[in-house]
Structure 1
Amino acid sequence: KPDPKLLVNGALDSIDAQLKKEGTTPAYDRPTLTGSPQSDLAKLAETMDLLAQKYPKLDPEVEKAGLDRPKFLERVATDGMAKAMKECHTYYLTPDRAKTFNRPPEEYSGIGAQISPTRPNEQLPEIAAIFPNTPAERAGLKAGDRIQTVDGNSVSGFTAEEVATRIRGPEGTTVTIIVVRAGAERSFSITRARLTPPRVISRDLEGGTIGYLRVTAFNGDVTRQTSEAVQALLASGVRGFVLDLRDNPGGDLSAAQDIGSIFTKGTLVKQTGRDGQQRELRTNDKWFWSAPKPLVVLVNERSASGSEIVAAGVRANGSGTVVGTKTAGCVGIGQPRELPDGSMLLITIAKMQDAKTGEELNGEGRGVRPDVVTGTDADQQLTDAVAALRQKS
């Protein structure tokens, strides 16, 4: 169980940050905490009542949403508690974001950048991928850029969902984004456009001998798209596959399980719940392609959650080689709980372990360690993946 003092201090840190963002320097005595859940939460409630009375002014946009000061501070405090856990599958969603949770749009108005889940000890959200032929690509944004502000507002500590919501907007309007790249700030003014996010990108390499599949996220009808792409590449005569999961932040667990099932058979990972019981996450025979083909799974430090499950499962079952850099170490199950105001709190209820070695995959410094470690240059990573595949052919 989480330490009540950790949660309360996280809530107060979040409130302090919000007040400073509003131009106020908070002045109050923090309560003395004992570690008793009932006592510490009661002290938090008293402190929040005091702050709501002392600093009653609300941002006009917040007032438009129909919130009063106490209710707004409740949301800020809940967000702070979730972030204090430093768990990538524990986070808070506002009512607007909760409505679209795990339901990616078939079409949206934005710039074409995929945001990586914020790691527990990182403040600036990172761009995981730039989709081809999009405003983001034309403007010069790059994977690995860390977003500092959106339209002049800091997004430090924000979740991927929160950042994406702020970047999206009406088609034809402009959003200004300041990123940090190689220690230097860069500003981009980008005109939003109507976009359909790609989930699966496939083509052949090496004169038609290698099938290349890039899966950008595990949601929507990604399993069907991947299966059809595999079928088409097999029909064209490819003799091996590169499954590119770089910059894939994860998504729906069942979709990741099914994608893994296309390429391997057996236990993908083991999962340990809050009850301490360990269970196996196994493949789904419905999706398995029995044609034996050499396989390389390409990953990087922004491959998270479902991507890590697939990579770990392929290796554990001896179905392929993992190439790239160590993955994000963000592997678990977040259970959504809807709150009375329509907002949502996701809480980590299970963590994952390697099916073969039992090694913990979730946490700072953890993740899937590739069989073939590469540098960080994207083009060279793909070249190294093809070379590894040739050795298996």
Structure 2
Amino acid sequence: MKKIQLIIGFILTAVLSAALTYNFTQSTNTSLKAIGSDDPFEKLRSTYETIQSDYYQDVDSKELVEGAINGMVESIGDPYSDYMSISEAKSFNENISSSFEGIGAEVQDNNGKIMIVSPIKGSPAEKAGIKPKDKILQVDEKSVEGMTVNEAVMLIRGEKGTKVKLLVERDGVGELELTIIRDTIPLETVYTEVIEGNIGKIQITKFSETTGTELAEALTELNEKNVDGLVLDLRQNPGGLMDQAIGMSELFIPKGKTIMQVENKDGSKEVYKSEKDPALDVPVVVVVDNGTASAAEIMAAALHQSAGIPVVGEKTFGKGTIQSARGFDDGSSVKYTIAKWLTPDGTWVHEKGFKPQYEAKLPEYANLPYLDPDKTLKEGDSSPEVKTAQQMLKAVGYDEIGAEGYFDSGMKQTVEKFQKDQDLTVTGEMTSETIIKLMETIQKQLSDNDTQVKKAIEVLNENN
């Protein structure tokens, strides 16, 4: 307060009279005495009353109270604790219980920045090339600096079919501008298929209210098909409900074995054990990556440490805390961290992640930035986008790409060849049609050459 008084006093001295500065200071000192009290809430009440009575404009009392609550929760400095307004609380509940419209990505606060935890499988965010650990700088050219996670989410979400432009920062790459078309993000969270060698593959995209039921049905389906093994894919899974993680882990962990531990504020621990026997009597391997977080990490660690199931892939995200939410009568709520969760052997993975026993990475081209189909690239252009297009073309078998980052005549000929091979209009320019087809080709190649799943199958065969 003294610092503010001195600064304002200096400005007033420069532009008004000493008498006005003196009067302002007198008034400020009087207010300071009025809020002195051993009761911390007296200071809060006094500030509220002062603003209501003395502020030069009318202020909505509800906004003052919500601002105070929000500031209180923010002061904790915990990226997983938030005050959610009515609309934000509704959006949060939809995310774990039903479909919603948006881009399909889990975000969190990371040292004051809005960071992607993971895009959801098949979502517009995933298709646009959003990656875990990307930091969002702007939404539709509006800076999100200083915003809460919920405020940023409300900007990003929108009606199906509408576009949102994100400026993101990616480690090792720099700033990227992505234009994403919003869509309906479905409730379905479990995807099942049978892959090479009669191996069942189940991908779990998040842990919502219905995921446990979906997983049980998927296991029954694969059991009926007499698969010889199972790959459980938890990549790009941002987590969700803890009770679902426990119930789903029970489907793989022998009765009586530990699933997880919860360490409370006072240091006491609760141990959660499996109360069932495994639902599928075949070898299992789990696949994870740096987008595997929270409840997905609980499950991966539990299956490895308590059921001896191998884990393949990359080190997980590292989110080792548990949140609860308390709602207000008006529909708003406070989400806050209540405890730590520990793996069965007592390890806290927070900010460290869970390391797989078998490391496997995707091909380098899996990390290439997204190309905006709305931007045509042509001969004479020189930009990071041209470099990305060249890398994509090279990844799908076109080696004559010209000088790096420069769209020269050689690059034009390569683009013409790609267009001819794909039955596209041959223009020699990277048009919207060409860019979309190129990215689709990359995605298909990545799916056909999923090195992490191939490693999982290799491990399955070794253990079978």
| Normalised-by-shorter TM-score class | 0.7 to 0.9
Q: Does 1:75 align with 2:61?
A: no
Instruction: Quickly say closer, same or farther: Cα 1:376–1:343, change in 2 above 3 A.
Output: farther
Instruction: Quickly say closer, same or farther: Cα 1:156–1:207, change in 2 above 3 A.
Output: farther
Q: Which position in structure 2 is the counterpart of 1:151? A: 140
Deviations 1:213-239 (A, max 9, x none): 111111131111111112222222322
Q: Does 1:212 align with 2:201?
A: yes
> Matched residue of 1:124: which SS?
strand
Larger Rg: 1 or 2?
A: 2
Q: Which position in structure 2 is the counterpart of 1:302? A: 291
Contact kept, 8 Å, 2:80 with 2:108, in 1: the verdict is: no
Contact kept, 8 Å, 1:102 with 1:251, in 2: the verdict is: no
Q: Does 1:359 align with 2:381?
A: no
Give, in angstroms, the shift of residue 103 of structure 1: 4.0
Give, in angstroms, the shift of residue 37 of structure 1: 11
Deviations 1:10-46 (A, max 9, x none): xxxxxxxxxxxxxxxxxx99x99xxx99655544565
CA distance in 1, matches of 2:325, 2:160: 31
Contact kept, 8 Å, 1:115 with 1:163, in 2: the verdict is: no
Give, in angstroms, the shift of residue 47 of structure 1: 5.5
Instruction: Quickly say closer, same or farther: Cα 1:340–1:211, change in 2 above 3 A.
Output: same
- Which stretches of structure 1, 4 residues or more, deviate above 6 A after TM superposition? 48-58
Give, in angstroms, the shift of residue 246 of structure 1: 1.8
CA distance in 2, matches of 1:241, 1:52: 63
Question: Which of the residues 174, 179, 182 maps onto 1:192?
Answer: 182
Q: Does 1:383 align with 2:454?
A: yes
Q: Which amino acid aligns with 1:78?
A: I
Q: Which position in structure 1 is the counterpart of 2:431? A: none
Q: Which position in structure 1 is the counterpart of 2:369? A: none
CA distance in 2, matches of 1:177, 1:55: 37
Q: Which amino acid aligns with 1:106?
A: S
Question: Which of the residues 220, 225, 230 maps onto 1:236?
Answer: 225
Contact kept, 8 Å, 1:116 with 1:247, in 2: the verdict is: no
Instruction: Quickly say closer, same or farther: Cα 1:114–1:54, change in 2 above 3 A.
Output: farther
Q: Identity over aligned residues, as a percent?
A: 30
Instruction: Quickly say closer, same or farther: Cα 1:327–1:92, change in 2 above 3 A.
Output: farther
Q: Which amino acid aligns with 1:274?
A: K
Q: Does 1:372 align with 2:362?
A: no
Contact kept, 8 Å, 1:176 with 1:189, in 2: the verdict is: yes
Deviations 1:148-192 (A, max 9, x none): 222233334656554443222223332222222344322233333
CA distance in 2, matches of 1:138, 1:369: 27
Give, in angstroms, the shift of residue 371 of structure 1: 2.0
Q: Which amino acid aligns with 2:348?
A: E
CA distance in 2, matches of 1:267, 1:205: 31
Give, in angstroms, the shift of residue 264 of structure 1: 1.3
Structure 1, 87-96 or 372-381: larger mean CA deviation: 372-381
Q: Which position in structure 2 is the counterpart of 1:131? A: 121
CA distance in 1, matches of 2:54, 2:317: 42
Q: TM-score, normalised by structure 1?
A: 0.74
CA distance in 2, matches of 1:302, 1:96: 27
Q: CA RMSD in A?
A: 3.4
Give, in angstroms, the shift of residue 256 of structure 1: 1.2
Q: Which amino acid aligns with 2:174?
A: A
CA distance in 2, matches of 1:390, 1:37: 71
Q: TM-score, normalised by structure 2?
A: 0.64
Give, in angstroms, the shift of residue 348 of structure 1: 1.8
Give, in angstroms, the shift of residue 125 of structure 1: 1.9
CA distance in 1, matches of 2:158, 2:211: 25
CA distance in 2, matches of 1:55, 1:48: 10
Give, in angstroms, the shift of residue 127 of structure 1: 5.5
Q: Which position in structure 2 is the counterpart of 1:87? A: 78
CA distance in 2, matches of 1:86, 1:392: 45
> Matched residue of 2:115: which SS?
coil
CA distance in 2, matches of 1:350, 1:171: 37
Q: Which position in structure 2 is the counterpart of 1:19? A: none
Instruction: Quickly say closer, same or farther: Cα 1:391–1:290, change in 2 above 3 A.
Output: same
CA distance in 2, matches of 1:262, 1:180: 39
Contact kept, 8 Å, 2:136 with 2:169, in 1: the verdict is: yes
Q: Does 1:107 align with 2:99?
A: yes
Question: Which of the residues 185, 201, 207 maps onto 2:191?
Answer: 201
Give, in angstroms, the shift of residue 320 of structure 1: 0.4
> Matched residue of 2:307: which SS?
coil
Kindly report which structure 2 residues correspond to 1:323-362, keeping only aligned pairs within 5 A, or say none: 323-339=312-328, 341-356=330-345, 358-361=346-349
Q: Which position in structure 2 is the counterpart of 1:10? A: none
Contact kept, 8 Å, 2:116 with 2:134, in 1: the verdict is: yes
Instruction: Quickly say closer, same or farther: Cα 1:275–1:178, change in 2 above 3 A.
Output: same
Contact kept, 8 Å, 1:145 with 1:179, in 2: the verdict is: yes
CA distance in 1, matches of 2:451, 2:57: 53
CA distance in 2, matches of 1:101, 1:388: 38
CA distance in 1, matches of 2:146, 2:248: 31
Greater RCO, CA 8 A, separation 6+: 1
Question: Which of the residues 163, 166, 178 maps onto 2:155?
Answer: 166
Instruction: Quickly say closer, same or farther: Cα 1:43–1:263, change in 2 above 3 A.
Output: same
> Matched residue of 1:390: which SS?
helix
Structure 1, 374-383 or 86-95: larger mean CA deviation: 374-383
Structure 1, 311-320 or 37-46: larger mean CA deviation: 37-46
Q: Which amino acid aligns with 1:359?
A: T
Contact kept, 8 Å, 2:107 with 2:114, in 1: the verdict is: no
Deviations 1:51-71 (A, max 9, x none): 78898779xxxxxxxxx4554
Deviations 1:319-347 (A, max 9, x none): 30122233233223222122465421122
